[in-house]
Amino acid sequence: MVPKMEEVIEGPDLNAGRSRVDKKNYRQFLLHNGLRVVIVSDTLIMGQHDMGVINDGSDSESDMSNESDQDSDGDHSFGDEEDGIRKAAAAMVVRAGSFHDPLCCQGMAHFLEHMLFMGTKKYPSENEYSSFIEKHGGSDNAFTELEYTLYHFDIAQEKLFEGIDRFAQFFISPLLREDSKGRELNAIESEFKLSQNSDDCRLQQLMCHTGKAAEEHPFGKFSWGNLRSLKEIPEKNDVNLSSELKTFYDQFYYAQNMRLVVIGAYSLDELQSQVVKKFSGVPALPREPSPLNIQLEDAVTWNETSHSPIEDFGMPLDPSLGKIYRIVPVKEKHNLTITWQLPPQRNWKSKPADYVAHLLGHEASGSLLSSLKARSWANTCYAGIDSGGHENASSHALFSFNLVLSEEGVSHWVEIISLVYTYIGMVRYYCHSDKGLPSCIYDELKAVHEMAYAFADEMTPEELVEDIAEDAICSYLPPERLLDGNSLLYEFDGDAIKVSFCSS
């Protein structure tokens, strides 16, 4: 049964933004509670199997042998994953991450992510959700970023609707059971200890300490959390962790602050009907108000605008920082990283940072890297803004130029930095000249982006829902450009590129 029109508000068409090899059908809509949803009909798999007829309960006795191929929600049998059948998948992204942690319990968003798996009122058994997913050939996971938390799973096609029913309860009525708290705190402690041996994580935490204190900027918060930040310090300060956990959930886990993506080998109407049925119970508004809450206007329309208080904190690093850090790595390697802070990158049409990254990271003759290679000082380089929340946030962007040095290059790091800034000065000269930066470089980049997008490798269903969900939470990306807006270039903006180079 197709949902009544008043139950949903259909959004802009997404199918025009598909790549040329993408045969899936897309639809986006708003539930009455303000939850934005993207559903994807996997037409390739639909075409490989006879969809059959939904069991309406009137099967004859001779048909009862097929009963095990259908479930109470009317799902169809699509065969086994071992036969090469793509799974169905779903992802929910919540616009609340480590930046939103209370100072008294840093790591709270990560802790809540763990606790939601520990049972709901409808399915109270601990880990029942994960056990169901695994039993039916799937997998599930979640991760906490700086400004959002993303939950996802994949599963055999015929169990998709039973899976999303269990999934929906995370956001309707989790138990947050007290007897699970200790085990999940220990799990977070284990993750923290593993990250201590990661050079990337260690560098990231150094940057956070370099920045403003957590009281001044959320960049300075301890995003992972561990036993000390979530147990020892709260207990020392008479903070009730369970109460803070529930408060955090009540403040941020509501429909208008979430985005849902579902893919399956079903028609769009059937997917929509099931999503409306399963997720209408998610509360539209916060159960408890928050001073750090996202401010939404026209939330139950496609004209929604949002303002995160994270934006108001400004840059996380002192503009005149100019510090040099020598880090002893865990792994044997010689890296030189130069980092500049920029304003948040919301110019999705021209993507000026991509242009800058292309020039700095170029490897052909005449490039900065070719000059360093000729001196036997460096082997490879990377330039740009990483997608992680520390590097790319609502308050800032951190543009890094990373060089993998030779042993000889380590002793010439001062000359290398001098060459980098000489190169940047040359580009700045062109920025300020009458001719300006050449648009032919942009045209080349644009063509490369278009080719890569048009013939991109097919993602797994789980990868696809994660990718769309992360883009859906971007407040600057218009809904009609959800599929291709972060992948393509649309217009040359020399002034924006000039600002980027002059900011560095």
CATH number at residue 139: 3.30.830.10
**Residues 285, 149 share a domain:** yes
In a domain, 383, yes or no: yes
Of 288 and 115, the structure prediction assigns the larger pLDDT to 115
Active site amino acids: 113, 184
**Residues 293, 344 share a domain:** no
**Residues 344, 244 share a domain:** no
State pLDDT tens for residues 133-154.
999 999 999 999 999 999 999 9
Q: Which residues pair with 307 in a beta bridge?
A: 295
**Residues 362, 289 share a domain:** no
In a domain, 313, yes or no: no
**Residues 353, 276 share a domain:** no
**Residues 345, 220 share a domain:** no
H or E segment to which residue 408 belongs: helix 407-410
- pLDDT at position 7: 78
**Residues 163, 232 share a domain:** yes
In a domain, 409, yes or no: yes
Q: Where is the domain boundary, 249, 269, 297?
A: 297
> Which residue, among 164, 142, 145, has the nearest Cα to 155 in the 3D structure?
164
The DSSP call for residue 205 is H
Helical H segments across 266-381, by residue range: 268-279, 352-360, 368-374
State pLDDT tens for residues 462-499.
999 999 999 999 888 999 999 999 999 999 988 888 77
**Residues 181, 125 share a domain:** yes
State pLDDT tens for residues 330-371.
888 899 999 999 999 989 999 999 999 999 999 888 899 999
In a domain, 311, yes or no: no
In a domain, 482, yes or no: yes
**Residues 212, 133 share a domain:** yes
**Residues 221, 344 share a domain:** no
Q: For all residues of the chain together, what is the average pLDDT?
A: 88
- pLDDT at position 298: 72
- pLDDT at position 62: 35
Domain holding 161, by residue range, is 5-297
Cα separation, 379 vs 405, whole angstroms: 6
Residue in this structure with the two tokens 């939330």, named with its chain if needed: 299
pLDDT of 206 above 90? no
**Residues 279, 167 share a domain:** yes
Residue 284 has a CB neighbour count (10 Å cut-off) of 16
State pLDDT tens for residues 361-416.
998 888 999 999 999 999 999 999 998 888 999 999 999 999 999 999 999 999 99
Number of domains within the chain:
2
pLDDT tier at 174, thresholds 50, 70, 90: very high
pLDDT (average), residues 23-36:
96
In a domain, 318, yes or no: no
Helical H segments across 177-267, by residue range: 181-195, 199-210, 227, 233-236, 241-252
CA 284 to the chain's CA centroid: 22
In a domain, 473, yes or no: yes
Q: Where is the domain boundary, 297, 317, 343?
A: 297
- pLDDT at position 48: 66
- pLDDT at position 474: 84
Of 427 and 235, the structure prediction assigns the larger pLDDT to 235
In a domain, 304, yes or no: no
Contact 40, 464 (CB under 8 A): yes
Q: Enter the tokens of residue 64.
A: 């009862």
Q: Say what percent of the chain tops pLDDT 90.
A: 66
**Residues 156, 56 share a domain:** yes
Judging by DSSP bridges, how do beta strands 36-41 and 258-264 pair with one another?
parallel
